[in-house]
Amino acid sequence: MPNPFHDSIRAVEWSNGALKLLDQRALPRQREHLVIEDTAGTAQAIKDMVVRGAPAIGITAAYGVVLAARACYARSPATWKQDIETDLELLARSRPTAVNLFWALERMRRHAATLGGDPYPALLAEAQRIHEEDIAANRRMGEMGAELIQSPGAVLTHCNTGSLATGGYGTALGVIRAAYAAGRVSQVFADETRPWLQGARLTAWELVEDRIPVTLLCEGAAAHLLKQGGVRWVIVGADRIAANGDTANKIGTYSLAILARHHGVKFMVVAPTSTVDMTLAGGDQIPIEIRADSEVLTHAGHPVAAQGAQAWNPAFDVAPAELIDAIVTERGVILSPTPEKMAVMMGRQD
Ligand code: MRU
């Protein structure tokens, strides 16, 4: 039976007392899973992009805390709360930009502080709540974001923001799923997203799996596409949204925001409130991860650049709030974000 949500993939699972990750480095060639039983393995998997996407990183880290607490309690029931701090630091060092990582670690730390006795069942339940709340937030954002798309047309997305990047269903891709199911999207364009090719390898894979037709383009083709008309919305996710609405997302998002404004195309950011960092006044304060130059100079282990060339590889950039038409979170939609509107939205209860 067709899934009414066009949603069949899960990247992060808890299975038989261990963390099970779909290895996103191998997609779309192979569907392989890694089973991880310790914190060091969890941190390494985040660093190496086995799992990626801001909400999925946060959920993975939450399960990493469960693994840490289980091991620390088994070693020393009296001191496990102090002992897991080293593991929390290890997880926090895995990737710097997606604030969902730090949000999830803090939530798990707060929950751990309330516990007596064996922490494993209660921390596992908390990690599973984080996971389930993320999927529920995505479904809600999907509905609200889809309603913003008033006249059916094409949409353009960047990177991968779907089930693979979240607990399930997706943020920007959740909106696209919901809008497609409602007949509001005639065509989905996806940037291939150099250098990791999240668009070509992951977004295209999960849309094809879920029977949503997708057309790929090199991100260099986006200006030409938007100039032709037909694309109504550019829809992206976020790794961190500052208190004024400035949004860090996959490198290339800033260019898309400029292109969209230039061509009169609307620009939507879709992210749960766990991606909002109200401690940072503006996007200039968001730490931007710089990854290895080998990711630009090689592809699948083979050199693609002239020997001796150097590379610069920022993984994210910041789209300023004034270029964003709508921010969609599970707590509501903000049109033309300002610090005041962000504060009101973040003050709302779920
Ligand atoms: O480097 P990645 O693949 O982790 O980057 C992911 C993105 O930039 C996504 O757009 C963002 O995390 C939102 S995912 C719902």
Task: Please check whether residue 260 lies inside any domain of the structure.
Answer: yes
Domain that holds residue 50: 12-134
Ordered strands of the 231-236 beta sheet: 214-217, 185-191, 153-157, 231-236, 266-270, 326-329, 332-335
Q: Which of 160, 169, 201 to mutate to test the pocket of ligand 1 (most atoms within 8 A of CB)?
A: 160
What residue ranges line ligand 1, CB within 6 angstroms? Answer: 52-55, 98, 159, 161, 165-166, 171, 198, 237-239, 249-250, 315
Evaluate whether residue 7 is within a structural domain.
Answer: no
The more confident residue out of 300 and 345 is 345
Q: Is residue 325 part of a domain?
A: yes
CA of 253 to the centre of ligand 1 (A): 11
Q: H-helix or E-strand containing 253?
A: helix 253-262
Nearest Cα neighbor of 62 from 147, 131, 4 is 131
Is position 93 within any domain? yes
Question: pLDDT, tens digit, for every residue of 231-252?
Answer: 999 999 999 999 999 999 999 9
Residues 319 and 183 reside in one and the same domain? yes
Which of 134, 166, 201 corresponds to the end of one domain? 134
Tell whether 49 and 154 lie within a shared domain.
no
Q: What is the pLDDT of residue 246?
A: 99
- Confidence label for 253 from pLDDT (cuts 50, 70 and 90): very high
Q: Is the pLDDT of residue 17 over 50?
A: yes
Same domain, 157 and 265: yes
C-alpha distances out from residue 80 to 43, 88, 211, Å: 19, 12, 47
The stretch 179-193 carries a mean pLDDT of 96
Nearby residues of 349 by Cβ (< 8 Å), 6 or more positions away: none
Q: Are residues 153 and 229 in the same domain?
A: yes
Q: Mutate which of 249, 254, 316, 317 to test ligand 1's pocket (most atoms within 8 Å of Cβ)? A: 249
Do 166 and 79 fall into the same domain? no
Q: How far apart are CA 269 and CA 40, in angstroms?
A: 33
**In this structure, are 51 and 189 located in the same domain?**
no
In this prediction, residue 5 has a pLDDT band, given cuts at 50, 70 and 90, of: low
How many angstroms does the Cα of residue 236 sit away from the middle of ligand 1?
9
- What percent of the chain stands above pLDDT 70? 98
- Residue 239 CA to ligand 1 center (angstroms) comes to 6
Say which residue, 4 or 322, is predicted with more confidence: 322
Alpha carbon of 134 to ligand 1 centroid (Å): 15
- pTM here is 0.97
Question: Are 338 and 198 in the same domain?
Answer: yes
* 95 and 154 housed in the same domain: no
Q: Is the pLDDT of residue 4 over 70?
A: no
Please report the pLDDT score of residue 23 as a whole number.
98
Q: Tell me which of 23, 46, 49, 52 to substitute to probe ligand 1's pocket, judged by most ligand atoms within 8 Å of the beta carbon.
A: 52
Indicate if 163 and 295 belong to the same structural domain: yes
- Residue 25 alpha carbon to ligand 1 centre in Å: 14
**Helices 54-75, 120-148: inter-axial angle, 10-degree rounding:** 170
**Closest Cα partner for 203 from 218, 219, 214, 217?**
214
* Domain end (from 134, 156, 176): 134
63 part of a folded domain: yes
Burial class (CB in 10 A: 0-12, 13-18, 19+), 170: buried
Mean pLDDT value across the chain? 96
**Residue 5 forms part of a structural domain:** no
> Please, which pLDDT band fits residue 8 given cuts at 50, 70 and 90?
confident
**Is 26 part of a structural domain of the chain?**
yes
Question: Which residue in this structure is represented by tokens 């006249």?
Answer: 151
Residue nearest to atom 8 of ligand 1 (CA): 250
Which atom of ligand 1 is closest in space to residue 52's alpha carbon? Answer: 4
Bridge partners for 19 per DSSP: 14, 36
Q: Which helix (H) or strand (E) holds 156?
A: strand 153-157
Residue 3's pLDDT band, with cuts at 50, 70 and 90, is: low
The mean pLDDT value for 186-192 works out to 97
Average pLDDT of span 145-172: 97
Q: Report which ligand 1 atom has the smallest distance to the Cα of 271.
A: 15
pLDDT in tens, 122-148: 999 999 999 999 999 999 999 999 999
Active site residues: 239
Q: Are residues 88 and 163 in the same domain?
A: no
Name the pairing type of β-strands 247-250 and 316-319.
antiparallel
**In-domain check, residue 250:** yes
Distance 118 CA to ligand 1 centre (A): 35
Question: Could you identify the atom of ligand 1 that is nearest to the CA of residue 57?
Answer: 4
H or E element at residue 279 = none
Is the pLDDT score of 6 beyond 80?
Answer: no
Ligand 1 atom at shortest distance from the alpha carbon of 236: 10
Of 299 and 222, which is predicted with more confidence?
222
162 CA closest ligand 1 atom index: 15
CATH number for position 157: 3.40.50.10470
Residue with CA nearest ligand 1 atom 6: 53
pLDDT given at position 350: 65
Q: Following DSSP, what letter does each residue of 201-217 receive, concatenated?
A: IIIHHHHHHTT--EEEE
Residue 1 has pLDDT above 60, yes or no: no
pLDDT at residue number 151: 87
Q: How many domains does the chain have?
A: 2
Residue 162 main-chain phi, psi, to 5 deg: -100, -150
Tell me, yes or no, whether 36 and 58 share the same domain: yes
Q: CATH number for the domain including 81?
A: 1.20.120.420
280 and 192 in a single domain? The answer is yes
The tens digit of pLDDT for each residue in 55-98 reads 999 999 999 999 999 999 999 999 999 999 999 999 999 999 99
State in Å: Cα 77 to ligand 1 middle.
37
Domain boundary among 110, 134, 158: 134
Q: Whose CA is nearest to atom 15 of ligand 1?
A: 161
